[in-house]
């Protein structure tokens, strides 16, 4: 794992942008975020659109939003300034920062390459045997088998 200096840390941030921010295209939203990070001397490593979704509930009268994920290096004391700027702009509906000191060089390279990375969890191996076992009924059968194994108790009944 790379040794990070105490004055710069690796962060992951998830930005939820309003549809107004993307009225002229996704590049405007990416430029908005890149500008915020560069104004606080942040070094952007990865910046990309993650997803566009209908929101579970309206936020500032917006029913849809676009999620932007970014990995960047910045002084930890500057995170407050980024949050403040996000709160002042109407284009950013929500933002969440996570410190990512646990991400090593291999995981970061996979993220740069656009691979879905879950550190510490091995990728499932696909073989002919388990490929044939995958059917549409398999998940339902697994749930039914799990439900059958659960013991039920009657309220007020004594347990042995």
pLDDT score of 36: 94
- Across the beta sheet with 43-59, the strand order is 43-59, 62-74, 9-17, 92-99
pLDDT score of 149: 43
Segments making up each domain of the chain, as ranges: 11-112
What is the DSSP pairing of strand 43-59 with strand 62-74? antiparallel
pLDDT score of 64: 92
CATH top-level class of 11-112: alpha beta
Find out whether 93 and 18 touch, Cβ atoms under 8 Å: yes
Cα separations in angstroms, 146 against 5, 112, 117, 139, 154:
48, 39, 29, 11, 19
**Cα–Cα dist 7/12, whole Å:** 16
**Cα–Cα dist 32/21, whole Å:** 8
pLDDT score of 6: 67
Low-confidence ranges of the chain (pLDDT < 50): 1-2, 119, 134-154, 159-160
Find out whether 12 and 97 touch, Cβ atoms under 8 Å: yes
């Amino acid at each position: 794992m790379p040794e990070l200096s105490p004055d710069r840390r690796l962060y992951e941030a998830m930005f939820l942008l309003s549809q107004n921010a993307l009225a002229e295209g996704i590049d405007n939203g990416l430029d908005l975020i890149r500008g915020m990070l560069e104004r606080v001397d942040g070094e952007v490593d990865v910046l990309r659109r993650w997803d566009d979704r209908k929101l579970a509930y309206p936020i500032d009268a917006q029913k849809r939003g676009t999620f932007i994920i970014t990995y960047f290096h910045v002084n930890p004391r500057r995170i407050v300034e980024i949050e403040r700027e996000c709160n002042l702009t109407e284009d950013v509906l929500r933002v969440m920062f996570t410190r990512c000191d646990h991400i090593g060089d291999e995981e970061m390279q996979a993220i740069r390459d656009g691979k879905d990375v879950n550190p510490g969890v091995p990728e499932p191996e696909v073989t002919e045997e388990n490929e044939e076992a995958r059917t549409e009924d398999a998940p339902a059968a697994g749930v039914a088998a799990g439900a059958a194994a659960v013991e039920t108790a009657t309220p007020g009944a004594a347990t042995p």
